[in-house]
Structure 1
Amino acid sequence: MATTVTAPRGMRDHLPADKARREHVLGVIRGVYARHGFDEIETPVVEDAARLHSGLGGDNEKLAFAVMRRGLTTEDLRQADAPLDLADLGLRFDLTVPLARFYASHRAELPSVFRAVQIAPVWRAERPQKGRYRQFVQCDIDVLGEPGQLAEIELIRATTAALDALGIVGTSIRINDRRILLALLASWGVTEQSAADRALITVDKLDKIGAVGVAEELGTTLGLDPAATADTIRALESANWDSVRGADWLDAEAFADLERLRAALPGVDLRFDPTLVRGMGYYTGTIFEVAHPDFGYSLGGGGRYDGMIGRFLGQDVPAVGFSLGFERLVDLVSLPGSAESDAVVLVYDKDVDPVRLAALKAEALDTHHRVRLEKRTKNMKNLLAGLAEQGFGSFATVGTDTTSLDGVEFRPLA
C-alpha cells in the first residue's frame, strides 16, 4: 500500500513564497509589540493534561490533543475508565493557559506588571474546513498585574498599531463586558451560574444561527419565551453607545467603565456591542474583537481574565490579553516587493564554472542583502514569475565569459 505524502489532515506545508509572507507578517507584529514595551516569552508545546482539562479552556478543552503516557501496558488499557486516563500531557490548545502557568512559576523573576508577547503554534482537533486548521499560529499580548484600564488601553493601542503597520485599514473594535452580559441574562430571569454559562454559549452563536435560532435554543434549554427573546436580541444587534444608556437591564458601572475606555482611545473606532460574548468561560470583565466591514469574521479578540492565574498561584492576579488572528491576517497581507538593490537573482548557464559562480555571488552580496543563484531553464517566464512572488526585485544573466558584475545589467522581475 502506498504511503501518503500529504500533510496530516488539518495541517499544512508552507512553500517558500508563503513562508516568506508569514515571516514578514510576524516580523511586523513583533516589531510593533516590542516598540510598545512587550517582552516575548516561550513556553513548551505541551502542558500537563490535568492543567489543560481544569475547566479554564472552555470548549477548547474538548479539542485538545492528548499525549499518551510512556510505557503503557495492556493492563493499563483495561483499567482505564476514559481515554484521558492514559494521557499525562497534551498539546496546548491556546497560549493563555500556558501563560498563566508560566507567570505562576516565574512571578518572582518578573516585574510587578508584566507585558508579555507569545507568538507560537497551537493545536486543536477541529473539523478541518476553509480557514480552520488543526495547527495554527496565535499572536498574543497580555498585561498581567495591572488591575486598571491602563492594561486594556495599552493592548488596544498596540493591536491597532500592528494592524496599521500591516496596512490593514478600516477595522473597528467591538467591545462589551461580561458584567453587562450577566445583567442582561438576569433581566431574562437567568441568574444561576451554570444556566448563565449555557445561555452565553448559545448567545455566542448569534452570527451563525441568527436571533431566532438563539431564541429558540434558549427556549428549549432554559424555558425562555422565544418570541420575546428574539425581539430583544434583534434590538440589541443594532444597539450602540447612545441607545442603551439608561436601559433597565444595563450594568451601569460596567458601561461607565467602557465609556471611560472609549474616551481614553481617541482615534480608535470603539463600538459597543451588547451581544458580543466570546466563548472562553474564563473572561471576567472587558471583552473585545477586531471587526472589518469586508470580512464576516473577526481578525482578533481578547478580554480580561482576572481569575485564571489564581488557580495556579493561590492568589488572584489581574490579567487581560489580546490575540490577533494570524492565519487570517496572513491571507490579507502581500509580501512587499523588494527594490532592485535589495534582493537579486543571478541566472546562469549550465556550463558556468561553479567556482566562478561562487565568486560572482560573493561579489553581489557586497551590495545586495539577498542573492539567489538560479540555473537558466527553458521556461524562463515561469521561473522569473516565481522569483518575483518570493520577493526578489531584479535579475541578471551571467555566462561562461562573465568574470565580474561590473557592467552587468540587472532587470526588474516584475
Structure 2
Amino acid sequence: MAAPVNPPRGMRDFLPADKARREHALGIIRGVYRAHGFDEIETPVVEDYARLHAGLGGDNEKLSFSILKRGIRPEALAAAAKAGDAEALADLGLRFDLTVPLTRFYASHRAELPPVFRSIQIAPVWRAERPQKGRYRQFVQADIDIIGEAGPLAEMELITATSQALAALGLQGCVIRVNDRRILFGLLERCGFAADTHDRALITVDKLDKIGAAGVVDELREIDAAASERLGEVLAAVEPALAGEGIPLTRSAIAAALPGAAEQPGAAAGIENLAALGEALAGALPEGVELRFDPTLVRGMGYYTGTIFEVAHPGSGSSVGGGGRYDGMVGRFLGQDVPAVGFSIGFERVVDLIALPEASGPEAVALIADADAELADLLALKRELVARGHRVRIEKRQKNMKALLARVAAEGFAAIANVRAGVRDADALELRPLAGGAAPGRLP
C-alpha cells in the first residue's frame, strides 16, 4: 500500500468547501477596502536577497526562504556553506511579509502614484516557521497601507476600514489594542534604561502576556536591575486593567495608566497622537469592535516608528491582525523619508473563525443525467443555464442516489434537476431543492 502523499510540512491543501470559505472572506475584505478608497496592487513573490535581509523585517528575516543562485558551482557552494556566507549562495528569496515588497514597489513607481497612495495587497507569504496551530510556512496576508500621509488621518482610515472589514466578516468581540512606540521609548527612558538598550528591552516587554510582569522584570535585570524594578512597578499597575475591560483610548485614561509619562517629549507626542485617534474614532467603529489603549503593546517588527495596533478576538489565542506606522522604511529605498502606515488582517486566523453563509443569488444546480440522455442535449442544457446565471454541474445517475445528493449538497449545490432522454429545453426541467423543504419548481 502506497504511503499517503501529503503537502510539504507547514503547508496545506484546501478542499472545495474550505476554498469557498476563503474566497468568500477575501471577497468581503476586498469589497470593504475598495469601498474605503484603497487600490489593489500585486508584487512578485520573490525579492532580492539583500533587500529581504536589510534589517527591515526584524526576526522574520531569520525565517525567510532563500533561493540558490543559478549555475553555482559545487566547489563554490561547498566553500560558501562552510563559511556560512548565505549571500554567496542566494540572490533571491521568497517574501516573508507584504510590507518590504510594498516599500520597494513604491520606490519603483512613485512617479506614477498619487501623492497619498492607499494600497491593498492580499497575497501569500512564506516563513520557515516551526509548524503549529495557527502558524504555517505559507499563509495569506491581507494588508492595507497608506503612504504619503504623515498625520493621524492615515491611522484613522486604516482602523475604520479594518474594523468594518472585521464586522462584515461577522466577527463580534474584536478589540483593537493601540499604543505608540514613542510612549514605549519614553517609558523605558523614564525608568532609567539607556537608549542603546531600548530595542532589547522591548523584546522582553513583548513577552508580558506569556511570562507576566515578574518574568519581564527577571529578564530585564540583566540589562539594568534598578530600571527593571521601576518598569515592573508600572507593568504591575496596569496589568489588572488590561486583564479586565481594558483602558479607554482617551487622554485622561492614558495619563492615569502612565502617570508622569507626558513629561518625556517623545512620549508626550505619542500620547497626543493616541488621544486624537481616540477622540476622532469615538462612536465611529461598527458594533462588535472596540478600541483600547495598551501601554504594553510592542509589536515585534523593529521598523515601527509611531502608532502600533493589534486586533484581539476571544475565539483566537493569538492576534488576528496588526500593524503600525513605519515612516523610515520607504526612505531606505528612496534616500528620503516618506510617511507610511499599514494594517494587516491575519487572514488564516480570521477565516477559521467565520462560517460560510448559505448561497444567495442564482442557484447552483446539479443536472442528474439518465444513462440514455444525449451528451449534446446535456451540454446544451448546461450552456443555457450558465447563460442565465446559474452554477451548473452534470452528474450521472447512480444506484446510491442518497450519497450523490449528500455530496452535491455539501459542495454548495442548492437543487437538482433530472434530465431524461429527449429533454432539450431548460424550461421543461423541474427543480428539486436539496434542503429546506421547498416545493419543486421551474428554473428561472
User: Given residue 36 of structure 1, which amino acid in structure 2 is its aligned partner?
Assistant: H
Alignment-derived partner of residue 248 in structure 1: 260
Distance 2:32 2:393 in 1: 30
Alignment-derived partner of residue 12 in structure 1: 12
Alignment-derived partner of residue 413 in structure 1: 434
For the pair 1:303 / 2:345, whether they are aligned, the reply is no
**Native 8 Å contact 2:116 2:149 kept in 1:** yes
Alignment-derived partner of residue 156 in structure 1: 159
C-alpha RMSD of matched pairs (Å): 2.1
Alignment-derived partner of residue 259 in structure 1: 275
- Deviations 1:8-67 (Å, cap 9, x if unpaired)? 110111111111111111111111111111111111111111110110000000000000
**Native 8 Å contact 1:335 1:391 kept in 2:** no
User: Given residue 71 of structure 1, which amino acid in structure 2 is its aligned partner?
Assistant: G
Alignment-derived partner of residue 355 in structure 1: 376
**Native 8 Å contact 2:315 2:353 kept in 1:** no
Alignment-derived partner of residue 22 in structure 1: 22
For the pair 1:99 / 2:102, whether they are aligned, the reply is yes
- Deviations 1:134-153 (Å, cap 9, x if unpaired)? 00011110000000111111
**Native 8 Å contact 2:146 2:154 kept in 1:** yes
Alignment-derived partner of residue 126 in structure 2: 123
Distance 1:277 1:26 in 2: 28
Distance 1:400 1:222 in 2: 86
Distance 2:211 2:372 in 1: 65
- Deviations 1:227-254 (Å, cap 9, x if unpaired)? 6644432322326244441611342221
From 337, 350, 359, the counterpart of 1:329: 350
**Native 8 Å contact 2:327 2:339 kept in 1:** yes
Q: Could you list the runs of 5+ residues in structure 1 that have no partner in the other structure?
A: none
Distance 2:361 2:323 in 1: 41
Q: TM-score scaled to structure 2, two decimals? A: 0.87
Offset, 1:2? 6.5
Offset, 1:395? 1.7
- Deviations 1:279-316 (Å, cap 9, x if unpaired)? 10000000011122343322211000000010110000
Distance 2:351 2:282 in 1: 28
Distance 1:54 1:216 in 2: 32
- For structure 1, which segment, 183-192 or 369-378, has the greater mean C-alpha deviation from structure 2 after superposition? 369-378
Offset, 1:222? 4.2
Distance 2:357 2:157 in 1: 28
- For structure 1, which segment, 3-12 or 115-124, has the greater mean C-alpha deviation from structure 2 after superposition? 3-12
- Deviations 1:69-107 (Å, cap 9, x if unpaired)? 011112212432225120111100000001111111111
Distance 1:411 1:339 in 2: 17
Alignment-derived partner of residue 37 in structure 1: 37
Alignment-derived partner of residue 79 in structure 2: 79
Offset, 1:221? 4.6
Q: Could you list the runs of 5+ residues in structure 2 that have no partner in the other structure?
A: 436-444
Offset, 1:394? 1.7
Distance 2:330 2:374 in 1: 63
User: Given residue 33 of structure 2, which amino acid in structure 1 is its aligned partner?
Assistant: Y
Q: TM-score scaled to structure 1, two decimals? A: 0.93
Alignment-derived partner of residue 175 in structure 1: 178
Distance 1:292 1:14 in 2: 24
Distance 1:311 1:366, change over 3 A: closer
**Native 8 Å contact 2:123 2:142 kept in 1:** yes
From 268, 272, 293, the counterpart of 2:293: 272
**Native 8 Å contact 2:170 2:354 kept in 1:** yes
